[in-house]
Chains A and B, each alone.
Chain A
Amino acid sequence: MRKLLFCFILLGAITRPALAEVNVVATLPWIGSLAKELGKDKINVTVLVKPSQDPHVIEAKPSMILAARKADIIMYDGLDLEIGYLPLILESSRNPKLMPGKTGNFDCSQFVKVIEKQTTVDRSMGDVHPLGNPHYHFSPSNVLRVADGMARLLAEADQANAGFYQANYKAFADHLREKEKTWHSLPLAGKKFIAYHKLFEYLADEFGFQFIGYMEPKPGIPPSAAHIEELIEEMKRSKPEAILVTPAYGIQEAESLSKKTGTKVVVLPQDVGSMPGTDDLFSFWDKVITSLQ
């Protein structure tokens, strides 16, 4: 009898850690970083996309399908950014918990004030996002809203630790508000920039600067000579502060444009971890915002 009891206790000890942790799969690094911020050691986070990868051109690898198979919750950016691989991962994962409509299917964009929603769009306009600009992780205020929704989701999925997630959210929110004071004290309002790709619009919206042009003539289409000539003329007229690019691509083109115009090139991380010293959301925003001064 005592042996049996011992066996049960042992079994309980073996199985409990597996039950206690919520398995979260996040498509993008910033989503994984936010989940970790709220869930800490109570959740297990797997991020599908590497910080150096372009989220527009991801292929569904079998390892991603296996991760989704094991997941309790899948968190994604939404607005069709992951349309090229996420539906396939979800279907191939054979995991009913993650199907659209279930609580395990968490679309972060549902909490976002989406900009650039397109009313008429076709592919001759390039790789535009018809449901709106999906790169809202550059906007701290939008991410705060996502964080609130995410904390509530985690609390629902793991009710025993509901208070823990709420407390972590509060700490995150307080830290963010503190940081926002510093960021908003920087003189960014009214500044003008050029960017390689339409990536930083939420940031411009939040901090009151603007883009006078993009190196890509249309989203996803590489710059042409004629387009760059036009851009140079525009830059002579309105004298932008800098050309913004990400480490992933566009640096060479931006540098050659910089040589022709004398406008400096500023390299910004595209996501958490895509440049040294941007390992969490705060250091990522710090790097992005202070690079713009």
Chain B
Amino acid sequence: MTRILGACCVIVLCLCRAVAYADETAERLQKLEATVEKQSKTIEKQQESIEALKKNAEQKQNQVGTQESKEPLPSKTGGLFGGSAFANPNISLILDTFGYSSNLNDTELANWGIPGFTTQGLDQRNGFNLDSAELFIFSPVDPYFDLYANLPATESGISIEEAYVVTTALPEGWQVKGGKFKSNFSRLDAQHPHAWDFFDIPLPYRAFLGNEGLGGEKGIQLTYLPILPIYTQIGAEVLQGDNDLLFGSDAAEGPHAYSFFVKSSVDTSDYSTLYFGPYVLFGKTENANIIQGEEVTANSALYGMEAVWKWKPAVREALTIQSEYLYLTQSGNAMEQTSLVLSGLERRQDGFYIQGIYRKNRWGIGARYDMLELFSNSFKLAGVQQNFGGKPWCETASLEFNPTEFTRIRLQLTHDKSDTMTGRTNDEAILQFNFSVGAHPAHTF
């Protein structure tokens, strides 16, 4: 019995042991699993940190890369004035050519002056005309001067319309221009004919200065641009006075023409600008182009006022309205060239023009109205007021097609009533072609 009990006990014990053993295995397994989990987590963590490190390193490498390439790349040779023009100046050629038709014949055109103002006729002839091929050269001379030259080649030869230098290093807003240049005293005079909004110059300019305006004059110009709330440029010029309508080469020895001008400008909105200013041009006159057969010797002063308003509402759309008023005083003598009779001459005459031009995309339309003796028509020869038959006037319409900024095709119709003595009309139709090649300096406002 005790044996049986003992065996039972052993069995029970064994069983218990077995149970205890099984319990131990499960526990171990659990522990193992936990350890593995822990380890894998650690590995994961390590991998994460490795990746982060890698990323950091990459970023750093990138940064180093960009830092290196951030150094200025080798600078180009052209600089501001374009091209690889270190040894060569910028050169451009502007071809100005037109077809012309008038009710007047060529002889009448050559004698088409303005009675009481000028005896100089028109240069254009019926049919094909070549105005000029203008050669422009410009370049910085050195850090102190820029040089400009304008050499129009016409059928009668090449001439020097302009050749001058402009200072670029004077302090405090001063600038000096010297050589032969187109005076900046007035709006149209400063512009080159190819930049005019119409084929020809308006009547007041033709009447007081000639077909080309004052033209290139030898001399010196001083301008000053002070820091003011609005743009204001003040200028003065001393000129030789070669213009053969307002002045004359033989009027005096040495310089005998002077100008003063002020140009101001304000932006009237983000898209529009007003530009205006008074001017005076005065000096000694001696020429035979004012009155037929008489040589005039006088002191002259031409006062003027210009105003331009430009509106550019969109990328390729612009409206420009421009007007100038000119007033001439001239007192001296007129000498009849055949009889040598001398009589006193007193002139107080004025003139104005107003023009508008609207351009959109490649097209432009324009209109202009010119009139002389608006308020003043005093022309006294030997104290006697001369009668030339009324106010000369002229109206003009134009249509432009500009395929690119380098080509301009313009049709202009003009109804010119400036010959007040005979009352004839000059009805003109002009088809003008303007081409420019090469590097041309930017046009002023």
Given contacts A63-B267, A66-B225, A123-B437, contact A94 B445 (CB under 8 A): no
- Cα A95 to Cα B169 in complex, Å, equals 7
- Cα A111 to Cα B68 in complex, Å, equals 12
A-B pairs with lowest CB-CB distance, top 6: A62-B265, A62-B231, A88-B442, A66-B231, A54-B315, A148-B70
Tell whether A85 is near chain B: CB-to-CB under 8 Å.
yes
Tell whether B81 is near chain A: CB-to-CB under 8 Å.
yes
A73-120 with Cβ < 8 A to chain B = 80, 83-88, 90-96, 99-101, 105, 107, 110-114
Pairs A–B under 8 Å by Cβ, sample size 18: A59-B310, A59-B445, A60-B444, A63-B265, A65-B225, A83-B80, A87-B80, A90-B80, A94-B223, A96-B171, A99-B143, A100-B79, A101-B79, A114-B73, A144-B66, A222-B362, A248-B314, A248-B315
> Dominant SS at the B interface?
loop
- Cα A100 to Cα B171 in complex, Å, equals 16
The size of the chain A interface, using a CB distance under 8 A, is: 52
- Cα A91 to Cα B139 in complex, Å, equals 12
What is the chain A residue whose CB lies nearest that of B223?
A94
A62 contact set on B, CB distance < 8 A: 231, 233, 263, 265, 273, 275, 445
- Cα A80 to Cα B90 in complex, Å, equals 14
- Cα A62 to Cα B233 in complex, Å, equals 9
Min CB distance B286 to A, Å, is 35
Tell whether A184 is near chain B: CB-to-CB under 8 Å.
no
Tell whether B423 is near chain A: CB-to-CB under 8 Å.
no
B140 contact set on A, CB distance < 8 A: 100
Please tell me if the beta carbons of B316 and A101 are within 8 angstroms of each other in the complex: no
- Cα A112 to Cα B140 in complex, Å, equals 26
Tell whether A179 is near chain B: CB-to-CB under 8 Å.
no
Please tell me if the beta carbons of A96 and B80 are within 8 angstroms of each other in the complex: no
Tell whether B107 is near chain A: CB-to-CB under 8 Å.
no
Tell whether B254 is near chain A: CB-to-CB under 8 Å.
no
Please tell me if the beta carbons of A93 and B169 are within 8 angstroms of each other in the complex: no
Q: Mark A161-204, 1 if CB is under 8 A from B, else 0.
A: 00000000000000000000000000000000000000000000
Q: Mark B67-105, 1 if CB is under 8 A from A, else 0.
A: 001101101101111110000000000000000000000
B80 contact set on A, CB distance < 8 A: 83, 86-87, 90, 100, 105, 107
Min CB distance B171 to A, Å, is 6
Tell whether A156 is near chain B: CB-to-CB under 8 Å.
no
B70 contact set on A, CB distance < 8 A: 111, 144-145, 148-149
Q: Which of A80, A96, A222 contacts B170 (CB 8 A)?
A: A96
- Cα A141 to Cα B81 in complex, Å, equals 27
- Cα A22 to Cα B366 in complex, Å, equals 44
What is the chain B residue whose CB lies nearest that of A59?
B445
Please tell me if the beta carbons of B404 and A99 are within 8 angstroms of each other in the complex: no
B73 contact set on A, CB distance < 8 A: 110-114
Please tell me if the beta carbons of A99 and B169 are within 8 angstroms of each other in the complex: yes
Min CB distance A31 to B, Å, is 15
Please tell me if the beta carbons of B168 and A99 are within 8 angstroms of each other in the complex: yes
A105 contact set on B, CB distance < 8 A: 80
What is the chain A residue whose CB lies nearest that of B173?
A94
Q: Which of B82, B265, B270, B404 contacts A50 (CB 8 A)?
A: B270
Please tell me if the beta carbons of A123 and B168 are within 8 angstroms of each other in the complex: no
A114 contact set on B, CB distance < 8 A: 73
Please tell me if the beta carbons of A149 and B168 are within 8 angstroms of each other in the complex: no
Tell whether A9 is near chain B: CB-to-CB under 8 Å.
no
Q: Mark A49-72, 1 if CB is under 8 A from B, else 0.
A: 010111001011111011001100
Please tell me if the beta carbons of A220 and B404 are within 8 angstroms of each other in the complex: yes
A131 contact set on B, CB distance < 8 A: 76, 78
B40-80 with Cβ < 8 A to chain A = 66, 69-70, 72-73, 75-76, 78-80
Q: Which of A52, A83, A99 contacts B315 (CB 8 A)?
A: A52
Q: Which of B143, B271, B312, B441 contacts A88 (CB 8 A)?
A: B441
Tell whether A8 is near chain B: CB-to-CB under 8 Å.
no
Tell whether A127 is near chain B: CB-to-CB under 8 Å.
yes
B445 contact set on A, CB distance < 8 A: 59-62
Please tell me if the beta carbons of A61 and B315 are within 8 angstroms of each other in the complex: no
Min CB distance B216 to A, Å, is 19
Min CB distance A198 to B, Å, is 16
What is the chain B residue whose CB lies nearest that of A132?
B76
Please tell me if the beta carbons of B273 and A61 are within 8 angstroms of each other in the complex: yes
Tell whether A221 is near chain B: CB-to-CB under 8 Å.
yes
Tell whether B174 is near chain A: CB-to-CB under 8 Å.
yes
What is the chain A residue whose CB lies nearest that of B437?
A123
Q: Which of B83, B312, B441 contacts A87 (CB 8 A)?
A: B441
- Cα A107 to Cα B171 in complex, Å, equals 22
Please tell me if the beta carbons of A101 and B143 are within 8 angstroms of each other in the complex: yes
Q: Mark B283-314, 1 if CB is under 8 A from A, else 0.
A: 00000000000000000000000000010101
Q: Mark B110-147, 1 if CB is under 8 A from A, else 0.
A: 00000000000000000000000000000010010010
- Cα A221 to Cα B410 in complex, Å, equals 19
Tell whether B266 is near chain A: CB-to-CB under 8 Å.
yes
Please tell me if the beta carbons of B267 and A61 are within 8 angstroms of each other in the complex: yes
Q: Mark A124-156, 1 if CB is under 8 A from B, else 0.
A: 000100110000000001001100110000000
Min CB distance A50 to B, Å, is 6
Min CB distance A25 to B, Å, is 13
- Cα A112 to Cα B74 in complex, Å, equals 10
B196 contact set on A, CB distance < 8 A: none
Tell whether B340 is near chain A: CB-to-CB under 8 Å.
no
What is the chain A residue whose CB lies nearest that of B71?
A111
- Cα A46 to Cα B80 in complex, Å, equals 20
A220 contact set on B, CB distance < 8 A: 404
B72 contact set on A, CB distance < 8 A: 110-111, 149
Please tell me if the beta carbons of A87 and B442 are within 8 angstroms of each other in the complex: yes
